[in-house]
Each structure stands twice: as C-alpha cells, then as structure tokens.
Homo-oligomer: A and B are copies of this chain.
C-alpha cells in the first residue's frame, strides 16, 4: 500500500507523482490542505513540515529527491538510477542541482509569484539562468539528462523548470529544455499539472 502526501501545486510532489505513474504503481494521494502539512500528525512524519512524504508499507520517506532514489532502487534499479558507479554519480549530480539551484531558483520565483513568499528575486533569477543554461547544454546530446533515457535526474529537474512561467520566467530560447519538458509530459501516465509549460 503506497500513500503519497502532497499539496496539489507542489512541484516536489509532482516529481513523485510522475514516478509513481510512470512505474504503473497503484497509490493513494492524500492532499494536505489548510496548513495541515505544518501541524501534527503530519509533522511527526516530516519534521520540517514539507511535502511530499511517501509511505510504502513500512517505509516512510521525506524529500522528493530521496523518494525518487528509493523508488528507482525498489522498482527500476539500474535503468532509473544508473547501471554503474559513474552513471550513479552523474545522476546524483542532477539530484543535487534539483535540491540546490532549481529549488533556490525557479521554485523560489514561483513561490513568490503564486503565494507571495518573500524572496531575493535577483539571486533567484541568477540561479534560474544558471540551471537553465546547464540543462539546455546537457540535453544537446540525447534529449535526456543522463544515459539517453528517462532517469530520476529528469524527474527531479523537470518540474520546476517546466513550471517556470508561473514564476514570471519567460520560456526564452531554451529549445532543448522545451522539447524535454514536452517529452516528459508525453510519457504514458503523465499526471497533468496546471502551469506545466513546454
């Protein structure tokens, strides 16, 4: 029995939702509304009060990148998380980018625009540009971030880059990024999400 605790507009929840759908797993999604994610009992599962949290029988995991690592290891080892040490390392690099530049860049701009969160817009815009430049260049080779196939690197990085227009970021000249987010959205089972640009 798999349960995903989420918030509908969360790009972090979307990472996990995509993984579960692409894996064809049956799961229940519990949307936490009205600030429930900042109160017990949810905060017992997740001390920082952030979504998503995944419960898979006895396994309880917080942090979208960590959940992707778990789902890959449990249900699609090798293909999704790397067939050898070098690939595992390269995929982990994109997970860090998702936890760092992308979380501090396009995610913050979107939080400010949609929810009025106070941010440093200059720093967030600079981080967004760095992340986009890096991803745009990387996609040149095969259209996927690593290994010429969908991996958890794509699942971790795509949502907040696809949702960047909601943060006031023009889609711009990033044609590889646009083709890639459209490619992800065309995969069977993709969970439709408001604001997912291409």
Contact: B59 with A93, CB < 8 Å?
A: no
**How many copies of this chain sit in the oligomeric assembly?**
2
- For the complex formed, measure the closest distance between the CB of A79 and the CB atoms of chain B, giving whole angstroms: 14
* Chain B residues, Cβ within 8 Å of A103: 100
Interface size class of A (residues with CB under 8 A): 35 or more
In the bound complex, CA of A92 to CA of B71 (Å): 12
- For the complex formed, measure the closest distance between the CB of A53 and the CB atoms of chain B, giving whole angstroms: 11
A190 interfacial by beta-carbon distance below 8 Å: no
In the bound complex, CA of A63 to CA of B91 (Å): 11
- For the complex formed, measure the closest distance between the CB of A114 and the CB atoms of chain B, giving whole angstroms: 20
In the bound complex, CA of A71 to CA of B86 (Å): 9
A134 interfacial by beta-carbon distance below 8 Å: yes
A120 interfacial by beta-carbon distance below 8 Å: yes
